Structure 1
Amino acid sequence: MTAPTNTLLDRYQEYRVRRWLVHETRMAGMLPGWRTRHRRRVLVILTAVAIFGVFATGVLCAFDLRWGPLVILPFLAVFFPAWIMLRIASQSQDNAPEQTLDEWQIAQRNTARSIGLTITQTLTLVPVFYLIYGAVLAPEASAFRTAYAGGVMALATLLAGGCAPAMILGWNQPDPEPEA
């Protein structure tokens, strides 16, 4: 009896490659002026500032500022366009299937993903410890305020770790070669 050559994971990977190629074709001509290293670095900085702002909003909410939850809106208004533009300008290499990348790109992507995981694990400790010890050290604090502030801080740390691979690759990729 022979083993099946086309397992569920193989079929999913083939589907992912097909979907990736369609996505890459659709995005290939978008934002040509933003594909330079300088412009990608501007997008990385905007994304990082927005993520930091989301985290700072969580800290403000922890101190019970009434207008604190509204502060998140401008940061999200900066984050989403900057993040989407960064993914387009860097060709979403951080999420590309292995079959679509060469060996150097795979190594770069895997390194960036490893750093992103480390960032996620490390930074998420801050809101986790806030949530754990916040209730112990300040039992009179509002449970809603504590939960909201911790949730916003956790969101920011997860965004930082999840966006880190694309930010690292976008920062380090060389300028695209001019088309002849």
Structure 2
Amino acid sequence: MTTTTNGLLDRYQDYRLRRWLVQEERLSGMFPRWRTRRRRRALVLTVAVAITVMFIAGVLCAFNLREAALAMLPAALIFIPAWGLLRIVSQVQDSAPAATLDELEIAQRNTARSIGLSITQFLALPPVLYLIFVSSLFPDTSIFQSAYAGGVMVLATLLAGGCAPGMILGWNRLDPDPES
């Protein structure tokens, strides 16, 4: 017996699969020189450094170093294209529908997603605790020191955990077979 929920979920999965296949076809020929393991690893490191700079900027803002907020702009300007390029050259495997992956790729993706969730939970806890305790123990702290600094730290940790599956898969993926 098919329920409304199953029919709705099945239709959504079919739609998602069709949309992903169109996107894969459109992106498959882009940046062929960037699809090597070495260049993907360079992109992973670039993304990691950009996220780290964002987090450090948040920590420095917590100490009322207002100039540290300026580090967010170049970090974001580096992060956005590096992350986009990494996703393109690693074939967006971290968010691919299961129907497009083989058993090994599904296992790798699920492991990477699990690690990403663990990273998110582990890294987001200190900034959230910072926000809670600063606002309750030091209510006179400036909004810049509490809300902005904590928000930047939480943003960086969410980006780290959210990007971790793509970074792991991009780092571990083998070089594509040379076409004969």
- TM-score bin (small chain): over 0.9
Consecutive unaligned residues of structure 2, counting only runs of 5 or more, are none
Per-residue CA deviation, residues 54-79 of structure 1 (Å, 9 max, x unaligned), is 00110111111122221100101110
Residue aligning to 1:70: 70
Q: Runs ≥4 in structure 1, deviation > 2 angstroms?
A: 2-6, 135-140
Asked whether 1:45 is paired with 2:68, we answer no
TM-fit CA distance, 1:137:
4.1
Per-residue CA deviation, residues 143-176 of structure 1 (Å, 9 max, x unaligned), is 3430000000000000000000000000000000
Per-residue CA deviation, residues 48-105 of structure 1 (Å, 9 max, x unaligned), is 0000000011011111112222110010111001100100010000000000000000
Residue aligning to 1:79: 79
TM-fit CA distance, 1:4:
5.7
Question: Distance in 2 between the 1:164 and 1:4 partners?
Answer: 35
Residue aligning to 1:30: 30
Question: Distance in 1 between the 2:27 and 2:3 partners?
Answer: 35
Equivalent positions of 1:81-100 (< 5 A) are: 81-100=81-100
CA RMSD of aligned residues (A): 1.4
Residue aligning to 2:122: 122
CA contact (8 A) 2:116 2:165 kept: yes
Identity value in percent: 65
Per-residue CA deviation, residues 15-35 of structure 1 (Å, 9 max, x unaligned), is 100000000000011010010
Question: Distance in 1 between the 2:66 and 2:109 partners?
Answer: 42
Asked whether 1:178 is paired with 2:178, we answer yes
| Count of residue pairs brought into register by the alignment | 179
Which structure is higher in helix share? 2
Question: Distance in 1 between the 2:175 and 2:154 partners?
Answer: 34
Partner AA of 1:138 in structure 2:
F
Asked whether 1:3 is paired with 2:2, we answer yes
Residue aligning to 1:131: 131
Question: Distance in 2 between the 1:66 and 1:14 partners?
Answer: 49
Residue aligning to 1:161: 161
Residue aligning to 1:18: 18
Consecutive unaligned residues of structure 1, counting only runs of 5 or more, are none
Question: Distance in 2 between the 1:130 and 1:68 partners?
Answer: 18
Partner AA of 1:133 in structure 2:
F
CA contact (8 A) 2:50 2:76 kept: yes
Normalising by structure 2, we get a TM-score of 0.95
